Structure 1
Amino acid sequence: MTTPRARSFGTVAAEYARHRPEYAESAVDWALEPVAGRPDRLLLDLAAGTGKLTGALLARGPVIAVEPDPPMLAELRVLFPDVDAREGSAEAIPLPDESVDAVLVGQAFHWFDPERALPEIARVLRPGGVLAALWNGDDATVEWVRGYHDAAGLIGLRVRDRAEAGLHLPEHPAFEASEHSAYPNAVHTSVEGLLATLATHSWALVAEPADRDAALARVRDYLATRPETSAGEFELPLFTDVVRMLRK
């Protein structure tokens, strides 16, 4: 997580915590299903950010949170003062060998260096433990959602586009083959809420301010023309995608 885009989120840590969506509860359950019967299981929230996934995990067992960005980690510690939160990265996890039953990664696996991160994740996982990566993404099958992406001029594949092609994690000899599942995760928001969420995305954070503001203005203008969103408040159709694989 060393690229400028990966390190851009700390500049908006409080806004990230306020505006980014939670993950579907059923998605978290599916991610942890392989270790559901383990007593006293210990969960690692890796690249935990401000703790968007941490809260859901706390309802399911003790959690250690690891995050490389100091401002994001500071926000997590404010929101979850009782969580063991440590500075570290996927490529250098500050935990001993075979110390956790599950490693969960929310909205961050694509920032990892898999050649370094997968051996390190395998090192801290107990045999039969699970690695699960989760992403929230707009449902790109919905016409007005595609329209607002086009209005903004967003570049790159959306999570749901990738999911339709089959999301997977890189192969590694320490892990079984990955498997994917997806869960609806619509959120109630508003035009202002959606714009605030978009402003926490990496494309907006690394863009020139004038370019970012112009993109957000185009989205505002587009949403004003759509019957689904013109009233100001609406349901944004999201999915939580999960890819998991077992430690051999």
Structure 2
Amino acid sequence: MDTKPNENAPAKRRGRPRKAGTKGANPREHIIATAIKLFQERGYAKTSLSEIARQIGLDQSSLYYWFPSKEAILECIFNFDNLKHFVNYTKTIQASETVKLYSLIVSDVTKECELPFDFFELESLAHDNPERFVSLFECYREFYQAMVEVIEKGIQKGEFIECSADERAVTILSIIEGLQHHFHAKQRGELILESSGYQVRNHTPEDIGHMAALAVLPALAAKPIDIDAVKKDSRIIMQKLLIDNE
């Protein structure tokens, strides 16, 4: 999941809105950037449209001109095409199922940690407004199905132990979502683990992705794996995808 503004989002309304912030600023882009910042600091639920408007020097009626709701801002912030492209890409590459699964895990953890707020908030919002989050449901379904397929092929090839592929996929998703939740709670200063004596470390989203993959793969592998080699191959795959997208 990517926080790059969605170029295919609904076009802005006609008319002459008030300018936001500094002279010559693009109000729409300024609103999106400010919303992302506030979502990161406070979470989605605790951020109001009035606060977004206040931060950029607009009255709320002017903000409504560009975005009638917070959900409308989300439609511009979230672009699921990149993750969908990566899922499709893993289906075509020449690599072991172990490397593919490692890459899927790292990619998803990284993108969820890079969201401007906790994925659990987005999940709750999508549940309450399914018609506005069709792309999210499609992306989640495709990712889950890709993971099940990789695990099933890994079992067939003797790379993974005999197991229920769908249950393993759900377990992996739970690990991914739990780690991103801790990351966002830490960013907001709300990580309850700190009260337990946990020493908070400044891991990057990608670092956390590798941590998740390293926690999953050894338990799933049918035989000992060279995790350093898997990690190296995974990075080559992801780097190639970045180059292809430029």
Is the strand fraction higher in 1 or 2?
Answer: 1
- TM surpasses 0.5: no
Name which one, 1 or 2, has greater alpha-carbon Rg. Answer: 2
Q: TM-score, normalised by structure 1?
A: 0.32
